[in-house]
Amino acid sequence: MNKLKWLIVLCFLNNVLASEPGKRIVVKLPFNDREEILSGMRKYLKITERMLREISTKNYSEVERLISKIEMDKDRLYRISKRENLSFMELAYRFHSVEVQNIKNAAKEKNQDKLILAISNFIGSCNHCHDRYQLIEWGGKDYPAAIPNKKFIDKYINLYKK
């Protein structure tokens, strides 16, 4: 299992280290928002590791359960909508909706090949985001209030109304 951890870490680090300095889009966030995102990333790594372990034992229902922990919902949609960059919001939305749903569908079908491809695409989304964006803490106390982006919410909210 140690090899699996290293494989996941190398997949992520390869893309982050390969990105050109100064070419990434800076997304400024208050400390708590940035910490929430970083905590989420650590959680996604652990979930990915566990999903790969479950795939090796063909425990597809557990893969489905694990990936459901980071699925898009109304609360996550509102949290994402408070980021300052629309393309960053769209990428986060795609990650939590499309990539997660692809993994869930492949697990439901119990199709190991589709599942590995879906997880590969999931990791690719992480790499794409790390390559494209740099999250930095907003300096000082004058951070503007994080206001949800109404246009972004209106685009997707109907999918999550109960």
- Long-range contacts, stretch 43-51, CB < 8 angstroms, 24+ apart: 43/69, 43/70, 44/70, 44/126, 45/8, 45/9, 45/12, 48/8, 48/119, 48/122, 48/123, 49/4, 49/5, 49/8, 51/103, 51/119
pLDDT digits (tens, 9 = 90+) for 80-128: 888 878 999 999 999 999 999 999 999 999 999 999 999 999 999 999 9
Domain at 30-150, CATH from 3.40.1710, 2.60.120, 1.10.3470, 1.20.120: 1.20.120
What mean pLDDT is reported for the chain? 85
Contact 97, 72 (CB under 8 A): yes
pTM (global) more than 0.85: no
- For residue 96 the two structure tokens come to 């939590």
* Domain map (residue ranges) of the chain: 30-150
